[in-house]
Amino acid sequence: RSCCMQRRVGMMLLRSLPRGTAAAAAAATRASAARALPLHAARSCYHTRGQYSSHAGIEPWYGQQCSATTILSVRKDDKVFVIGDGQVTLGSQVIKPNARKVRKLKEGVIAGFAGATADAMTLFERLEMKLGEHPETMRACVEMAKAWRMDKYLRRLEAIMIVADANVSLTLTGTGDVLEPVDGIIGIGSGGAFATAAARALIDIEGMDAEAVGRKAMDVASDMCIYTNKQYVTELITVPKPADADADAPK
């Protein structure tokens, strides 16, 4: 409807112009109407960071960055295990096989990300600042999510983060969500659902600790997800036992 209205207004303006300039104005009107076509009709792929044309055979890879990976966090007994693959995908190309998507923010706090690398690095720096202001991980993540949601620069950053310490495992998103899983298992990225399902199936098996569950679940995800490889980066946290438990233990 907007295109039709633009054409009608253009025709009304053309009638009031001399014949010499009417032809040039008509050509300009047709060009502007073509640019005003819907996205699916123009067959072009746009993003706020740039433009990519499907005619040139280039797919809109930026929107896929948030999903083209697998990060998994498993909490079982006295261990918290975070594992991520190393594959960096640009459209249909594997750019790098050994990227480090799981990092230690400070002693006892681990974070993993799925998304654009530059955006994730910016969010890591902001989260480190929040951890310096608020030593409690939950409070720091809530403050980080508030800033991520409200700041006009941070809200454009596209990534999903997993943050874990000895007490809590959280998922942070750009929409202001701070989610804590019920079973201590978090999976994000294109293979996150596969890894989460496999980890939940293995979590109750006796003899398998958090690391064994996480590695086996990532093997399943990497076999099913084309954006996930087997060059894993891992971090492990050992939860200290409370002092009263040691006192009550039989000697």
Instruction: Compute the distance between CA of residue 68 and CA of residue 243 in angstroms, rounded to an integer.
Output: 43
Per-residue model confidence (pLDDT) at position 55: 33
pLDDT beyond 60 at 162 = yes
pLDDT digits (tens, 9 = 90+) for 1-13: 555 565 665 566 5
pLDDT beyond 60 at 48 = no
Per-residue model confidence (pLDDT) at position 65: 42
Give the residue from 73, 71, 77 showing the smallest Cα distance to 238.
77
The model's confidence at residue 242, banded by pLDDT at 50, 70 and 90, is confident
- Cα angle 51, 55, 61 (rounded to 5 degrees) comes to 45
More confident residue, 227 or 247: 227
Per-residue model confidence (pLDDT) at position 89: 85
Per-residue model confidence (pLDDT) at position 8: 65
Give the residue from 154, 91, 149 showing the smallest Cα distance to 122.
154
Burial class (CB in 10 A: 0-12, 13-18, 19+), 34: exposed
pLDDT digits (tens, 9 = 90+) for 65-119: 445 889 999 999 999 999 999 998 887 888 889 989 999 988 889 999 988 777 8
pLDDT digits (tens, 9 = 90+) for 131-159: 888 889 999 999 888 888 887 777 777 78
What is the dihedral sign for C-alpha 181, 186, 188, 190?
Answer: negative
pTM reported for the whole predicted model = 0.69
Structure tokens at 146: 């508030």
Q: Of 29, 48, 69, 137, which one is the catalytic site residue?
A: 69
234 has catalytic annotation: no
pLDDT beyond 80 at 245 = no
pLDDT digits (tens, 9 = 90+) for 186-235: 999 999 999 999 999 999 999 999 999 999 999 999 999 999 999 999 99
Per-residue model confidence (pLDDT) at position 14: 53
Per-residue model confidence (pLDDT) at position 214: 96
Instruction: Compute the distance between CA of residue 75 and CA of residue 167 in angstroms, rounded to an integer.
Output: 10
The model's confidence at residue 122, banded by pLDDT at 50, 70 and 90, is confident
The model's confidence at residue 30, banded by pLDDT at 50, 70 and 90, is low
Give the residue from 63, 64, 42, 67 showing the smallest Cα distance to 53.
42
